[in-house]
Structure 1
Amino acid sequence: MKIIKVIIPAYNEEHAIEHVIQEIPSYVAEIIVINNNSTDDTVAVAQKAGATVLSENKKGYGYACLKGLDYINTTPNTPDIVVFLDGDYSDYPEDLSKLIAPILNNTADFVIGARVPELRESGSMTPQQIFGNRLATVLMRLFFRSKFTDLGPFRAIKYSTLQSLNMVDKTYGWTVEMQLKVLKKNISYTEIPVRYKNRIGVSKVSGTVKGTIMAGVKIISWIIKYAFK
């Protein structure tokens, strides 16, 4: 069996994180929760549920993911596959098996969990999220002939492939940076439709006007940057 590790960025997810951890398949070698400056009991709850918990005090999705990667890069028993999963319980962690299947079958190196409308609970994505995803994927199709339909954070990637991407984004652009670099490097990829439900708590990005605007600007800037690079 391949070694699989899961990275979960988490900011104030004390009510959700235990559910996420408990529903991750048991064959996963390590669940790594990155506490991104939480002010609640996220750390204690995640530790009690059995996760390895790291702390990253610089706020930002990318900062948290990079912290998790730094940890993986410097520990023994490196994984074959790394899975990224949000800590808000909006995804179905058991769908991880579907995400890693194309990698295990050697048909793709990178897999996105696509939040397709027919599997999406009503209200689970805000109108601005839906619009932003559509705009970003249309631009990627226009500039790179991409087949991506979503910027879904639930994703799986070969560890060796992830290392080759040299990820750098510290905040909202992490997901689109990964997809753009996969396209530019001609890395094999696919999407797997996944279920998506209303998260526990309020989104720290799409749930605020500032977060929505900042994320939108960062995502579009990454796409424009790579289109003319």
Structure 2
Amino acid sequence: MYKGHKVAVVIPALNEEQAISIVVRNLITLMFDEQAVIDNVIVCDNGSTDNTAKVATANGAQVVHQSTPGYGIACLTAIAKLPSCDIVLFVDGDDSCFVDQALSLLNGIVNGDDLAIGSRTLGTIENGALTKPQLFGNWLSSHLITLFWQQKITDLGPFRAIRLSSLHALNMADTSFGWTVEMQVKAIILGMQVSEYAVDSKVRIGQSKISGTVTGSIKAGIGILSMIATLFIRQSSIKNTAQLRGSEYE
């Protein structure tokens, strides 16, 4: 619990046997004012062929399973099993972030944010933590969102916290790589308070399922840009329809 707010963590994981124990332990032992911050950790095993699920369970996480591949569907599966809580924290299972920096995100929610994004761009990125295609893709996508929706965005990173009521209001649907974009853009469209906080990034344990292969990088890029385009076209269509209806009464 953080300042009177129950906190649940969602970790989508695919073959993260080497790192998941570190991530789960660091979360469970995270303290603030001599009190454990995290109330529940839910790991969605997204079709792992190693011992990710077994290791996560042994270290204190609740494990749910989703055999259909996809970052978004793994998150949705875990969300469906959330216990009663006030804040949901999203963390990757590869030990690429410093979980103690979650306190900044949680503090943002407690102080009024609906969505608090951990921005690696505002923090320090360890050499090798992100590939050049990742850095460029993140820069391009962030700038497109800033341009289309007039709110400064610097990162689409997965390390983030959101108020549970706000998460439900977003009606998240993407099952793949567009998940983080969908969350940020929908929150902006709905007029939610979205803030960014500097977080640091380190080289992950094991090979990335996305940037570790050319195919993965291409699929991720297409998924992210497609989501941006879809949301922009949808919003523009709604605005145009509203304007046409309004002109009927002029």
TM-score over 0.5 for the pair: yes
Kindly tell me the number of residue pairs found equivalent between the two proteins: 224
- Report the alpha carbon displacement of residue 52 of structure 1 after superposing the two structures with TM: 0.4
Is structure 2 residue 163 aligned with structure 1 residue 163?
no
Is structure 2 residue 77 aligned with structure 1 residue 67?
yes
- Report the alpha carbon displacement of residue 228 of structure 1 after superposing the two structures with TM: 2.0
CA distance in 2, matches of 1:172, 1:190: 21
CA distance in 1, matches of 2:68, 2:60: 24
Structure 2: state its 5+ residue gaps: 31-35, 235-250
1:183 to 188, 195, 198: 188
CA distance in 1, matches of 2:150, 2:212: 31
What percent identity do the matched residue pairs reach?
43
2:197 to 184, 192, 199: 192
- Listed one character per residue, the Cα deviations across residues 81-137 of structure 1 (whole Å, up to 9, x for unaligned) are 00000000001111111111111112x110110012651111100001100001101
- Map 1:146-161 onto structure 2 (within 5 A): 146-161=151-166
Letter in 2 for 1:13: E
Letter in 1 for 2:91: L
Which residue of 1 is the match for residue 46 of structure 2? Answer: 36
Do 2:20 and 2:95's aligned partners in 1 also have CA atoms closer than 8 Å?
A: yes
Which residue of 2 is the match for residue 21 of structure 1? Answer: 24
CA distance in 2, matches of 1:176, 1:117: 18
Letter in 1 for 2:71: Y
Is structure 2 residue 237 aligned with structure 1 residue 223?
no
Q: Give 3-state SS (helix, strand or coil) of 1:71's partner.
A: coil
- Report the alpha carbon displacement of residue 39 of structure 1 after superposing the two structures with TM: 0.5
Do 2:44 and 2:66's aligned partners in 1 also have CA atoms closer than 8 Å?
A: yes
- Report the alpha carbon displacement of residue 195 of structure 1 after superposing the two structures with TM: 1.1
Q: Give 3-state SS (helix, strand or coil) of 1:152's partner.
A: coil
Which residue of 2 is the match for residue 96 of structure 1? Answer: 102
- Listed one character per residue, the Cα deviations across residues 121-167 of structure 1 (whole Å, up to 9, x for unaligned) are 11100001100001101111111112110001000000000000000
CA distance in 2, matches of 1:117, 1:178: 20
CA distance in 1, matches of 2:224, 2:47: 23
CA distance in 2, matches of 1:227, 1:62: 20
- Superposed CA RMSD in Å reads 1.0
State which structure, 1 or 2, has the greater radius of gyration over its C-alpha atoms: 2
Letter in 1 for 2:20: I
- Listed one character per residue, the Cα deviations across residues 172-193 of structure 1 (whole Å, up to 9, x for unaligned) are 1101110110111111010000
1:55 to 65, 71, 90: 65
Do 2:71 and 2:179's aligned partners in 1 also have CA atoms closer than 8 Å?
A: yes
- Report the alpha carbon displacement of residue 18 of structure 1 after superposing the two structures with TM: 0.6
Do 2:122 and 2:199's aligned partners in 1 also have CA atoms closer than 8 Å?
A: no
CA distance in 2, matches of 1:226, 1:183: 11
CA distance in 1, matches of 2:123, 2:97: 14
Q: What's the TM-score once normalised by structure 1's chain length?
A: 0.95
Q: Give 3-state SS (helix, strand or coil) of 1:133's partner.
A: helix
Is structure 2 residue 9 aligned with structure 1 residue 6?
yes
4+ residue segments displaced more than 4 Å: none
Is structure 2 residue 85 aligned with structure 1 residue 79?
yes
Do 2:123 and 2:199's aligned partners in 1 also have CA atoms closer than 8 Å?
A: no
- Report the alpha carbon displacement of residue 27 of structure 1 after superposing the two structures with TM: 2.0
Q: What's the TM-score once normalised by structure 2's chain length?
A: 0.88
- Listed one character per residue, the Cα deviations across residues 54-93 of structure 1 (whole Å, up to 9, x for unaligned) are 1111111011000011112xx4xx1100000000000111
Structure 1: state its 5+ residue gaps: none
